[in-house]
Structure formats: structure tokens, C-alpha cells
């Protein structure tokens, strides 16, 4: 018997390896892979979506943009090409939710410091948030210029991005054409400029969920 197994040792070893591979493949096939939704305007609270897009069900992406960051550099969609990034809307003089959002975004900045992931914060009061004001704020908060752009610019463009691209703000109802109430949302955007998640930027549990979803999204590009 021993001589029989010795004679066919290589055969049994190869058979074992092939069986292990087959079992592994079947196991992975039976376990559903984690995937994030691709958000469309029709899936989001209508209060946060421009009326022209509320029924749109597919092909929604972040529009082209040209804004200015805390260093006076022009920032466009090209700076985020083929990048996963997290966006939000804020203003430097906000006394309520913005400090909490910024603190939590700082934690995300630390988490992604070695990853190819970026951050993008849009000022909703560009008439107040000049380049100098954004730079002051960035220095005070510890913003890493390589990872995180705080941007200002044309208010209509920022408003349109908020309402028509990121689906992230409400109008404030005072009759102004480009006035808005920004939400606490952090928005996860994939390399194809699609929205993959919304998270309460003031809630630590939501930040943990964002980081978990970020890992799922990153892994989806490794396959």
C-alpha cells in the first residue's frame, strides 16, 4: 500500500491542488460580492436635487468644473481624473455643523494619507471665502494641500454643482437665485465620477461606514 501511494504521490498532490482551487472558486462564487450602489437623482431626496433632474434614473456623473483652491491654484475635474474622492460643502464662518464636519474630514485625511484618494470641499459662501480666507482656514485646521482642496469660485457654478451634480444642498427659500442651505453630507465619488454613497459628516458611525465603503470601492478596482 505504501509503495502504491509513493508511486502516485505526484498524481495525488496535483489532484489535491486542483480540488482546492475548485473548492475556492465555488466558495467565492457562492458568496455575494459587496458592491456599492450607483446613485442617480431619482434615488435621492427631491429637496436636494434640481427639478430638471429629479426623474433621471441613469448615467448621472459629476459635471466639469473650474474653481480655485486655498493656494490660488485652479482646480478642475482633471485634478480628480481616475481618482476616488470625497466631497462636501461648507463655509469657513459656519459656527454649527462645519467645525464637526471639518474635524471628521481631518480624520479621513489621516486615514487616506497613504492611499490614492482625495478630498474636495466647496465653499457655499465664495463671496466671503476668498483664497486668503481658505488658506487661513486650511492652516488652522491642518489641511494637507496634496490630499485636500478647499475651493471657491463662481457662486452659480458651485450652486449648480451642489444641486445638479452632488445632490447635496437645499435652496434656502429667500428668493435668491443661487442661495443654498448646505447639508452635512459627505459624498463618495468613484473614478468614473459617479456618486457611490452619502454620509452624515457629523456622525462618527457614518464616518466609519464611509471608510468601510471606501475600502469596498477601492477593492472593486483591483479585480
pTM across the whole model:
0.83
Pair (72, 135) in one structural domain: yes
User: To the nearest whole percent, how much of the chain has pLDDT over 70?
Assistant: 81
Pair (113, 172) in one structural domain: yes
Whether 49 contacts 114, CB under 8 Å = no
Buried b (16+ CB within 10 A) or exposed e, 104-130: bbbebbeebeeeebbbbbbbbbbeebb
pLDDT at 218 over 50: yes
DSSP H or E segment with residue 207: helix 204-220
Segment 20-34 shows an average pLDDT of 52
Q: What is the pLDDT of residue 169?
A: 81
Residue 139's domain comprises 41-220
Tens digit of each residue's pLDDT (9 = 90 or more) over 118-132: 999 999 999 999 999
Residue 98 annotated in ligand binding = yes
Pair (24, 122) in one structural domain: no
Our count of domains for the chain comes to: 2
pLDDT at 175 over 90: no
- Banded pLDDT at 67 (limits 50, 70, 90): very high
Instruction: State the Cα–Cα distance between residues 87 and 186, nearest whole angstrom.
Output: 6
Tens digit of each residue's pLDDT (9 = 90 or more) over 190-217: 999 999 999 999 999 999 999 999 999 9
Residue 122 annotated in ligand binding = no
Pair (5, 112) in one structural domain: no
Instruction: State the Cα–Cα distance between residues 72 and 85, nearest whole angstrom.
Output: 21
Amino acid at each position: 500500500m505504501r509503495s502504491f501511494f509513493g508511486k502516485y504521490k505526484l498524481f495525488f498532490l496535483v489532484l489535491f491542488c486542483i480540488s482546492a482551487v475548485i473548492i475556492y472558486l465555488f466558495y467565492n462564487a457562492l458568496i455575494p460580492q459587496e458592491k456599492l450602489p450607483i446613485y442617480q437623482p431619482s434615488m435621492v431626496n427631491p429637496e436636494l436635487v434640481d427639478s430638471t433632474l429629479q426623474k433621471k434614473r441613469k448615467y448621472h456623473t459629476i459635471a466639469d468644473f473650474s474653481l480655485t483652491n486655498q493656494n490660488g491654484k485652479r482646480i478642475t475635474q482633471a485634478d480628480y481624473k481616475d481618482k476616488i474622492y470625497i466631497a462636501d460643502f461648507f463655509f469657513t464662518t459656519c459656527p454649527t455643523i462645519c467645525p464637526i464636519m471639518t474635524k471628521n474630514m481631518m480624520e479621513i485625511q489621516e486615514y487616506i494619507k497613504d492611499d490614492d484618494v482625495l478630498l474636495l470641499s466647496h465653499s457655499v459662501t465664495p463671496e466671503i471665502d476668498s483664497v486668503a480666507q481658505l488658506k487661513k482656514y486650511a492652516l488652522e485646521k491642518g489641511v494637507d494641500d496634496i490630499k485636500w482642496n478647499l475651493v471657491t469660485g463662481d457662486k452659480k457654478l458651485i450652486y449648480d454643482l451642489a444641486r445638479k451634480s452632488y445632490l447635496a444642498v437645499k435652496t434656502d427659500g429667500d428668493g435668491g437665485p443661487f442661495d443654498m442651505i448646505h447639508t452635512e453630507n459627505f459624498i463618495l465619488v468613484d473614478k468614473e465620477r459617479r456618486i457611490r454613497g452619502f454620509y452624515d459628516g457629523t456622525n462618527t458611525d457614518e464616518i466609519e461606514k464611509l471608510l468601510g465603503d471606501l475600502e469596498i470601492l477601492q477593492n472593486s478596482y483591483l479585480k
